[in-house]
Amino acid sequence: MKRGYKIMKLTLSGRKKVVIYIVIALCLKLDLHAQDPHFSQFYANAIYTNPAFAGSTHHGRFVSNARNQWSRISGTFTTLSAAYDEHYDIINGGIGLIVTRDQAGVGLLTTNSISGMYSYQIPINKYVTVRAAIQGSLIQKTLEFGNYTWGDQIMKRSGIVKPVTGESPANPSIFIPNVSAGAVVYTKIFYGGFALHNITEPNQSFWNSYTVKNPIHRRITAHSGIQIQINKAKNAKNAQMISPNILFMQQGPFTELDLGMYYNRGPYIIGGYYRQTSENPDAFIVLLGLRREKLRIGYSYDATLSNARPGAPASHEISVAFELRKRTPKTRVRVIRCPEF
């Protein structure tokens, strides 16, 4: 999914790099509304994708993700997240906590957020289960006003940048409360879910919030997949499984469709995804994963397919997960069997 901000300063030197920025800006429409950060390994960061995944395993799990979008360009998007979730029998559901940090530009716009969520398990029958969740968040956005170059600082003919702007300074930091929700329905081989983030579309304006409205648009996510075992190996190391998946997201005028599949043989996972946005083919994603008893490591490479490829050929993402608490499975806890990357 493409992300853009209403204002952005070019931080690269040299005519060639400036031209690259201009091309990317034209291709990706950076003058449009901002979007939430996103991850290519959306099941590695499951509770970020859908809060209903909180507590959906038999163990407490800690997950961290790091994403560098368009890595060849200095000062684009760098996103970090850390999350923990676990199921608790006493509340018949799961609790989750996730912290994210997103930087756009060289310190120009920084977004920090902390979110807590609760998911409730609802057995429909012995085969079908539903988990429904609510999430509350607090977002902090910080704007480095002095690092931007405004229109009145640039001379029309000479291009000289004046040291002072007539623009009204923005609030350096704002805090935004936010609410999200989600649900997942699943069996032993099928899962499908729906999440709605930024339900109230809170205002993120750095100027007078009573007169200037710049909402964080609702982010709609729908996802589904199946787990198909392709052999009957008695040893888990030799078990083989394929997992076709689909994920759709929409936020404001932007849409994203991910179609792909994972192949799992014992502890090794390989996957591939094609991502299509509302404007153009966006990327082909290759994923490699390793699963040990209490450790999971994933790496994904996004190969750009759009016209931005000459200046932004790729993005990289790494995920690391730990099982911190192992519990004895109980009949009351119905685990969601879905990919882990």
8-12, 152-156, 254-258, range with the lowest pLDDT: 8-12
The pLDDT-based confidence of 29 (bands split at 50, 70, 90) is very low
pLDDT given at position 287: 96
pLDDT given at position 9: 37
**Identity of the amino acid at 248:** F
Tell me the per-residue pLDDT of 204-253, one tens digit each, with 9 for 90 and over: 888 776 677 889 999 999 999 999 988 876 666 677 899 999 999 999 99
Helices marked H in the chain — which ranges?
15-28, 46-49
pLDDT given at position 84: 96
291-296 long-range contacts, CB within 8 A, separation 24+ = 291/267, 291/340, 292/267, 293/323, 294/322, 294/323, 294/326, 295/320, 295/321, 295/322, 295/323, 296/44, 296/320, 296/321, 296/322, 296/340, 296/341
pLDDT given at position 326: 62
Q: Which domains, and CATH codes, for the chain?
A: 15-326 (2.40.160.40)
Tell me the per-residue pLDDT of 109-123, one tens digit each, with 9 for 90 and over: 899 999 999 999 999
For a pLDDT cut of 90, what percent of the chain falls above it?
A: 52
Which residues are registered as beta bridge partners of 254? 251
Q: Which residues contact 338 (CB under 8 A, 6 or more apart)?
A: 43, 46, 186, 191, 225, 227, 243
39-48, 144-153, 202-211, 292-301, range with the lowest pLDDT: 144-153
The pLDDT-based confidence of 136 (bands split at 50, 70, 90) is very high
CB atoms within 10 A of CB 43: 23
d(CA 181, CA 193): 11
Tell whether the model's pLDDT for residue 10 goes beyond 60: no
Tell me the per-residue pLDDT of 82-92, one tens digit each, with 9 for 90 and over: 999 999 989 99
Structure tokens at 319: 């995920």
pLDDT given at position 44: 92
pLDDT given at position 104: 82
Tell me the per-residue pLDDT of 32-70, one tens digit each, with 9 for 90 and over: 356 788 899 999 989 999 999 999 987 899 999 999 987
22-26, 184-188, 248-252, range with the lowest pLDDT: 22-26
**CA dist 97 → 114, 115, 192 (Å):** 7, 6, 22
Better-predicted residue by pLDDT, 15 or 281: 281
SS3 265: strand
Query: Across residues 295-313, what is the average pLDDT?
Result: 88
